[in-house]
Structure 1
């Protein structure tokens, strides 16, 4: 099998602590073999994956200028003023160093490209193989998933969250368990669109410590990925988004806060991860944004805004691929790059919180307390030049 993973297969264990598995052989009824029966689908997937190398799918670095992370604020009360590593060129254009999805998620990108180049290039490691299998099954059933999400476009927030988790997010994940915030009013264990009993559960999704940032997450996938599900008028935006419009950004600071807290918590709780560049997903009914934070290197990343739907009303497959990469980060993410480490642009989170950094390192936990609603506005910045890495 061609190895595009930078030597990843030489690891003694995989990101779940599993020993290397024996060479995997496809069977006629396996999804890997079935997907290759449609050569057009394989070629489309390859072209979609290649979009991960473009400026449409990239991250920018964030530096925190001011925040209230050193006080006992709930996520919904979080304040976080940030800047990017942008600069003005001699011609007056704005330039920014950006990082391709294919760079940040090198393992996942290589996994897909290897498979689309040769049907026998199925990942040998069990976790990687399951991750790719999940993606292919979702793509095969994308029309049904699309219909379910369309039916939930008019649903209230709790029903949208459940539909999203039940039909899309869990099906992309290696670990398909999920917990929905039990503080949702009018919650139901029945999916809004298909009337099936959901496979997830309602529970306490609070994380953090009441002395610092803390609060409830809308959804936790497999105990590893926090998700903020926004309603149609609650669109999430990013600093790297090229847009002339203003978007309500009630959730951006909250997303940053929960990303940072979850990263510190995972660093404290998990010992099998290859790296600790931990993602958080913000997903509205029309768009998606990803944040990632590495508490070891103090690197905070924000993606460009990712459209979820095409003008023709179909789910954009590259958006599904981007979400799959984030959900399965422990198998797909290659961590902080050398360029990120050496560019001299960190988040400055330790500087912002001072002595409270020890609380983030030692005292965060699951199950910690309530949050409340705060609404703020954010106007996205516009960049002319993306220096991709």
Structure 2
């Protein structure tokens, strides 16, 4: 990895005019257009919760959610580009990639975030190959633990503003030996618990900077095999009204999706409690396995729940160093949500999740006022046999592709 440049704006200017970077810039411009238009599965769907067990005191891995995608009067799914929740971040990237007049944001933190993205993409191949090489493990639990440490150290930390992570303190989980290379670790083992005293609660597998919960799920195939049969199934639903078949290890299951979504919902209440004056309470949660990631987002104030479909980490097209460039940019935006995130645009605020409605009034008040981190009461769960959530169930349905468009501009300075 390149050493951080003391002047991010100068780094960005130098980056644009180096001949060796022109191929990457060309790929980035293509992905910029896809993400801005909600193409190539760089989109979100708006979810409505019909029922859940959130009124009961239950751990995240036992959470159940019955949900469906919002539809309009013509029975078409309500969809939007992922970028509409990160307008400033998208504008930062789009302005930098403008061929006629490339610009850098005036905000120093935004310049630094963009530098982090570019430096990650320019990391030497041996550094990035850690994310695609096979993990040798004696058991499924060891494999999941190694995957958790690996993605935290080599994928999340380089793209996140706060270069730290915390791994749940499950017995036997070690931070050492995440790969063959020797490097200082940016994380530690510790308490990742959070939750509502009367509702959903438990531990995140990973916390990125104490801001974003991550759930690591087991895969059925070889870790890091980008050449496997990933197909075109990039969308999954929490609902159960489809008989579509899924192969083990190929995608997320209703059980893992419910866990990811429950953690995301509760963490929005946690963050609102910590930052009551914040104008934006949209909080992302991440689910990841060796081949795919999924990002859900919840706003506990306006009761808005959205999610991407599973996004391939490794792609045949639009890839860079064997990684899917779209996935990296989407993840970069989510990890920088405090900097780049915004409230749901007004035209979409009517598509509420109805999560508030499925709760009793007293239970909603409990989520609002009694959600805490760390969770100071006894967790209603024993350590599972495996370190993380199992992906062995058969998924029952999918979300369809989405298409929409978005443009935006923000103050910037020319890099010419």
Shorter-chain TM-score tier: 0.7 to 0.9
Q: Distance in 2 between matches of 1:263 and 1:326?
A: 14
Q: Which position in structure 2 is the counterpart of 1:11?
A: none
What is the root-mean-square deviation in Å for CA atoms of aligned residues?
2.9
Please state if 1:203 is matched with 2:210: no
Q: Distance in 2 between matches of 1:385 and 1:200?
A: 36
Q: Which position in structure 2 is the counterpart of 1:73?
A: 58
Q: Which position in structure 1 is the counterpart of 2:257?
A: 252
Question: Does the 8 Å CA contact 2:268/2:281 hold for their aligned counterparts?
Answer: yes
Question: Does the 8 Å CA contact 2:38/2:402 hold for their aligned counterparts?
Answer: no
Q: Which position in structure 1 is the counterpart of 2:26?
A: 43
Question: Does the 8 Å CA contact 1:309/1:316 hold for their aligned counterparts?
Answer: yes
Say which of 233, 237, 240 aligns to 1:239: 237
Q: Which position in structure 2 is the counterpart of 1:379?
A: 396
CA gap 1:332/1:157 in 2 versus in 1, 3 angstroms: same
Per the alignment, in what secondary structure is the counterpart of residue 86 of structure 1? coil
Say which of 338, 341, 352 aligns to 2:346: 338
Structure 1, unaligned runs of 5 or more = 1-23
Q: Which position in structure 1 is the counterpart of 2:38?
A: 54
Question: Does the 8 Å CA contact 1:97/1:387 hold for their aligned counterparts?
Answer: no
Question: Does the 8 Å CA contact 1:180/1:200 hold for their aligned counterparts?
Answer: yes
Question: Does the 8 Å CA contact 1:208/1:365 hold for their aligned counterparts?
Answer: yes
Where does 1:145-294 land on structure 2 (aligned, <5 Å)? Answer: 145-155=127-137, 156-183=143-170, 185-233=172-220, 238-239=236-237, 245-246=245-246, 247=251, 249=253, 250-271=255-276, 273-294=278-299
Q: Distance in 2 between matches of 1:25 and 1:311?
A: 32
Please state if 1:356 is matched with 2:363: yes
Q: Which position in structure 1 is the counterpart of 2:331?
A: 323
Question: Does the 8 Å CA contact 1:105/1:332 hold for their aligned counterparts?
Answer: yes
Say which of 50, 70, 73 aligns to 1:85: 70
1:275-300 CA-partner distances (Å, limit 9, x unpaired)? 11110011111111110000110000
Equivalent residues, number: 358
Say which of 14, 39, 50 aligns to 1:33: 14
Question: Does the 8 Å CA contact 2:169/2:191 hold for their aligned counterparts?
Answer: yes
Please state if 1:303 is matched with 2:313: no
Question: Larger relative contact order (C-alpha < 8 A, sep ≥ 6)?
Answer: 2
Q: Distance in 1 between matches of 2:87 and 2:160?
A: 18
Structure 2, unaligned runs of 5 or more = 1-6, 138-142, 222-229, 407-416
Per the alignment, in what secondary structure is the counterpart of residue 213 of structure 2? strand
Q: Which position in structure 2 is the counterpart of 1:63?
A: 48
Q: Distance in 2 between matches of 1:383 and 1:173?
A: 29
Q: Which position in structure 1 is the counterpart of 2:91?
A: 110
1:33-62 CA-partner distances (Å, limit 9, x unpaired)? 235412332222111111112341111111
Structure 1 residue 322: Cα displacement: 0.7
Question: Does the 8 Å CA contact 1:240/1:304 hold for their aligned counterparts?
Answer: no
Per the alignment, in what secondary structure is the counterpart of residue 77 of structure 2? strand
Question: Does the 8 Å CA contact 1:36/1:42 hold for their aligned counterparts?
Answer: no
Structure 1 residue 97: Cα displacement: 1.5
Structure 1 residue 239: Cα displacement: 2.0
Structure 1 range deviating more: 212-221 or 373-382: 373-382
CA gap 1:182/1:103 in 2 versus in 1, 3 angstroms: same
Structure 1 residue 73: Cα displacement: 0.4
Structure 1 range deviating more: 164-173 or 101-110: 101-110
Per the alignment, in what secondary structure is the counterpart of residue 259 of structure 2? helix
Question: Does the 8 Å CA contact 1:35/1:136 hold for their aligned counterparts?
Answer: no
CA gap 1:304/1:384 in 2 versus in 1, 3 angstroms: closer
Question: Does the 8 Å CA contact 1:152/1:160 hold for their aligned counterparts?
Answer: no
Structure 1 residue 80: Cα displacement: 0.7
Say which of 370, 374, 378 aligns to 1:367: 374
